[in-house]
Structure 1
Amino acid sequence: MQTIQHIALADEWDEAQREGTYATSTLGVSIDAAGYLHASFPEQVRPTLERFYSDVDAPLVLLTLDPEALAEAGLEVRVEPAAPDDPESERFPHVYGGVLPVNAVSSAESLELPGTQA
């Protein structure tokens, strides 16, 4: 399986580590509300940052998910079109089945904000 990653606000990830689960699907939307966790393949991270996070001024982290730990937690990865009504649109991984246990994250790295140079 391809590497699956998720962009998170650093403070939400910090809170998740204290609580044991991460419950945010995407900016301002919970997994419960969306029905799944939004994720990306590595080549989709930069375009996703530029499109959806360009106005975020809070620290971000890039979470890399562990497929085995996801399966053990009863979570399912589905690769689906970004636009459900357009099956030809770009396909992204979505994680279904509930909140994300923090032990299903194999790494968390600081992520530079769009428009900044390393």
Structure 2
Amino acid sequence: MPIIYHVTSASEWKQAQEQGAYEAPSLKTEGFIHCSETDQVAGVLERYFAGRNDLVKLHVNTDKLTSRYVQEWSNSVEDTFPHIYGPINLDAVEKVETI
């Protein structure tokens, strides 16, 4: 059961629960949802979420995803990151951790 992670705000996660699926803003602007492996989360928090205190980390089971999941290269940090090409179905989220 490969787990990947997605950081979002508590309010965006609450909205996803009301709608029945999670869609990050990047899904509309870039065509996919950015995710991270365990060792990448700290860097993502530092680069994109510094100073925020309203965040949650979604633990996403890739075996349960109904949308396509792909590992892709990121030139900006020279590393491969998981991307989800579609909404995250709620039953794929096995844990929500406040950070």
Alignment match, 2:9: 9
For 1:60-103, what per-residue CA distance to the aligned partner results, in whole angstroms no more than 9, with x for missing partners? 00001111211xx2x222111112xx8x921111111x211111
Q: In the aligned structure 2, how far is the partner of 1:15 from the partner of 1:91?
A: 29
Name stretches of at least 5 consecutive residues in structure 2 with no aligned partner: none
The unaligned stretches of length 5 or more in structure 1 are 112-118
- d(CA) in 1 for partners of 2:94 and 2:2? 14
RMSD of Structure 2 on Structure 1 (CA): 1.8
Matches within 5 A, 1:69-88: 69-70=64-65, 73=66, 75-83=67-75
Give the TM-score, by structure 2 length.
Answer: 0.89
Residues 5 and 40, structure 1, Cα contact 8 Å, conserved in 2 = yes
Q: Aligned residue for 2:83?
A: 94
Contact 1:10 1:59 in 2 (8 A): yes
* Equivalent in the alignment of 2:55: 60
Q: Partner of 2:44 in structure 1?
A: 48
How far 1:2 sits from its partner (Å)? 4.0
CA contact (8 A) 1:20 1:101 kept: yes
- State, as a whole percentage, how many aligned pairs show the same letter: 32
Look at both structures and tell me which one has the larger radius of gyration over its CA atoms.
1
Name the SS for the 1:35 alignment partner.
coil
Q: Give the secondary-structure state (helix, strand or coil) at the position aligned to 2:5.
A: strand
State the secondary structure of the residue aligned to 1:16: helix
Match of 1:43, SS state, is helix
- Is residue 2–residue 41 contact of structure 1 (8 Å, CA) maintained in 2? no
Mapped to 1, the partners of 2:56 and 2:90 lie a distance apart of: 14
1:38 lines up with 2:34 in the alignment: yes
Whether the 8 Å contact between 1:63 and 1:108 is mirrored in structure 2 is yes
Query: Displacement of 1:55 after TM fit?
Result: 3.9
